[in-house]
Amino acid sequence: MNYEIRLFLTFFFIFSFFVRWTTWNEESRFALLRAIVDEKRFEIDSFANQTGDRSYYNEHYYSDKFPGSSFLAIPTYVLWSIIYKPLSPFLTSKPISLVYYTDSKIPLAYSVNPGFFLNTSMVFVTLFTVSLFSALTVVILYKFSKYFVKKESNRILIVLGFALGGLTLPYALVFLDHALEGFFLFTAFFLLFKMKTEKIFSTKNFFISGLLTGFAFVCRITSILVIPLFLLYVLLIQKKKSHIFILGLIIGILPVIIYNSSIVKNSYTFISFFQDTAAWPGIFINKQPAFILTTPFFPVVFWGVQDYMNLYLKIFISPERGLFLYYPLSVLSIFGIFYMYKKYKIETSLILILFFILTIIYSCSWFGFSFGPRNLSSLIPFLVIPLFFVIEKNKKIFYLFLIPTIFIGLLSLEFWLPASQEIFTISSDPFLQHYFPLFLNNGPRSILFENLILNKEIDIRLTPHSCGLISPVIQKTEIPILSSSLGIITLKMPFLCLIPLVIVVFLIWRKQILQKFKFTTHKWALFLSILVLIFLLAFVRIRTFLYGENWHAPEFHDGKINENERWMSQDATLILFNKNMEKERRNLTFGIETFNKTRVLELYLNNGLIGRYNIYDKRTISQVMELEPGRNILKFHSVTGCDRPTELGLVDCDLRCLSFRVENIRTNLR
């Protein structure tokens, strides 16, 4: 197995392991996919109530996204539909339920449980579009590096810096279009560069390059700015074959032309321009453009030169959206440009023009829910090319920027914040106030892994509770695995996902690792013993008190997590362990507060009622209980049920079902 296959398998697994479903953006693309396959039409009327990212035209709803990602997902969705149909009688899942949370022409809804088929479809659709093509981009970058970098280890380091960086990793995990646009454009550029360097001008490669460039536009509108640059590059390297490139380009663009023409009845107006203002507050928020689809000169005219220059600076150094902060290696790319220009003037000029066009346009863009400047993520493969020259010149400097780049990439696995709409001011530092404290608490988060372990279900949505917005803290920090005479043996959830990740990566690279570390049998035994010891110390605990089922995650405010208080739904349980061989009386005390109205609380110990309380205000409860030897289950039951804040009109986006908030539980158990 060569390095290219190993790299593909490694990063396809990593990207697949961390896939997630975040906001309306994915729902909009998914709605178009379902409309095409299930209903044989482009209108998303049947699914429009599940996304605010939609267009409204001629009394029908459409996705406001370019259709490339949805088109690419069609084979996966169709194949899974065919496979699922005969299996469906044997697969059980919770009843499908929607909760409505916003008033508009069509009330917007969140699916508390989409059902097994849709949940798994979200996984497969993401895996075999964005994650797949992101892994292929890694391989193309590795192939590209052979023209510049001699040492194999340096080529691998470049790949690591790209794939695990803060503007690649997060967008290889979600059903968006940035990674797809990046793959098609970068692969097209690689083919053109390869032909120029090797002086083998293949008609097939010119056609494929044009096709890929064209389809990048089907995925994302900004590719229209790249097409003239690539066409100029083709004319400079081989003018005679330019018509082949143009032919591929036209064929590549055709899907979006046909798609829009069938809806709007012309080929130059895109359905994306007819955004539904009933679901979204329009193009301007607080008189500031939330989306820029104009010439690069518009911001200067709108704000003036000085204000815009301050704004343009934010795209590089702002803690909310700064390119240099979210992808530190891009700082070295600037220096690499100077080294590269000496030998590759045309390619360097192309990268610089692309860099300035995209940063100028997106400097005033609102990035929605994202990690850093997501609209620049498709630019990152091009910015990696100058790094080939930096690592050859000074490897130590490269390491200095590589480490924070990968660390920031790991931070992106936490819950993303919405970008500030106040684009002129810096209102927060998300790294110190949000991402770093969450990373220390949660570890790198695989939502798929968490839901499989905690809820025994396949679900990559960041929350089953709140409109695409999540309590960013992991639901349970520990899970019971078995009981012993000392207590309940638990497994810590934070950082646990690294264990299967390391095992799989080791299996893929075991030959290279074993060759690097030529241990004797005794050394391997010692090494494995140390690993087992580290695992036990890091992840295994013995507890006499543990949160059980149906507790909501602790709340996160101002960079702090209050582990001593939890909201519960209608029923919730505690696991209590009695080490003695006989029954023992204990006193249970806790603070409790009802949600929204007076409620009745019942306490059950091992299915026997031990207390009933009428809760109308915040109070402290003290309850004597008699514990059986070993494990005991204490159940909190709200006789009057639970309510969702959104349905009561108290907030816009909190779909948790709440009954009581319980705090400072004390059981006199150690």
Q: pLDDT by residue (tens digit) across 376-414?
A: 999 999 999 999 999 988 889 999 999 999 999 999 999
Confidence of residue 302 (pLDDT cuts 50, 70, 90): low
Residue range 305-342, pLDDT digits in tens? 666 677 778 888 888 888 999 999 999 999 999 999 98
The reply to whether 427 falls in a domain is no
Residue range 46-91, pLDDT digits in tens? 998 888 889 999 999 999 999 999 999 999 999 999 999 998 887 7
- Rounded to two decimals, what is the model's pTM? 0.92
The pLDDT, as a whole number, for residue 105 is 56
Between 247 and 274, whose confidence is greater? 247
The domain of 625 spans 548-666
Of 543, 569, 593, the residue at which a domain comes to its end is: 543
Q: Are residues 174 and 321 in the same domain?
A: yes
The reply to whether 441 falls in a domain is no
> Which of 19-28, 102-111, 295-304: highest mean pLDDT?
19-28
The pLDDT, as a whole number, for residue 576 is 93
Confidence of residue 165 (pLDDT cuts 50, 70, 90): very high
Task: Look over the chain and give the mean of its residue pLDDT values, rounded to a whole number.
Answer: 88
The reply to whether 205 falls in a domain is yes
Average pLDDT score over residue span 628-637: 94
The reply to whether 440 falls in a domain is no
Average pLDDT score over residue span 608-614: 94
DSSP for 287-336, written as a single string: TEESS--S-TTHHHHHH-HHHHHHHHHHHHH-TTT-HHHHSTHHHHHHHH
Average pLDDT score over residue span 131-148: 97
Nearest of 326, 304, 306 to residue 315 by alpha carbon? 326
The pLDDT, as a whole number, for residue 289 is 38
The reply to whether 463 falls in a domain is no
Q: Are residues 80 and 137 in the same domain?
A: yes
Residue range 541-569, pLDDT digits in tens? 999 999 999 999 888 877 788 888 999 99
Confidence of residue 290 (pLDDT cuts 50, 70, 90): very low
DSSP for 200-269, written as a single string: ---HHHHHHHHHHHHHHHHH-GGGGGTHHHHHHHHHHH-GGGHHHHHHHHHHHHHHHHHHHHHHHSSSSS
Distance between the two ends of the chain, CA-based, in angstroms? 53
The reply to whether 87 falls in a domain is yes
Q: Are residues 54 and 106 in the same domain?
A: yes
- Domain count within the chain: 3
Which residues are CB-contacts of 456 (< 8 A; sequence separation ≥ 6)?
Answer: none
* Cα gap 464→114, rounded to integer Å: 10
The pLDDT, as a whole number, for residue 34 is 97
Of 378, 396, 411, the residue at which a domain comes to its end is: 411
Between 269 and 599, whose confidence is greater? 599
Residue range 408-447, pLDDT digits in tens? 999 999 988 776 655 555 567 888 888 999 999 999 999 9
Q: Are residues 327 and 357 in the same domain?
A: yes
Is residue 284's pLDDT more than 50? no
The pLDDT, as a whole number, for residue 296 is 43
The pLDDT, as a whole number, for residue 570 is 94
Tally of CB atoms within 10 A around 254: 14
The pLDDT, as a whole number, for residue 267 is 64
CA dist list (Å): 10 to 15, 17, 127, 377: 9, 11, 14, 21
Is residue 40's pLDDT more than 60? yes
Of 394, 411, 428, the residue at which a domain comes to its end is: 411
The reply to whether 423 falls in a domain is no
Confidence of residue 288 (pLDDT cuts 50, 70, 90): very low
Whether the CB-CB separation of 21 and 110 falls below 8 Å is answered with no
The pLDDT, as a whole number, for residue 670 is 43
* Cα gap 139→186, rounded to integer Å: 11
Share of the chain above pLDDT 70, in %: 90
Structure tokens belonging to residue 563 = 């582990």
CA dihedral 181, 185, 191, 195 (to 10 degrees): 180
Q: Are residues 150 and 52 in the same domain?
A: yes
The pLDDT, as a whole number, for residue 559 is 76
Average pLDDT score over residue span 1-12: 94
Average pLDDT score over residue span 10-29: 93
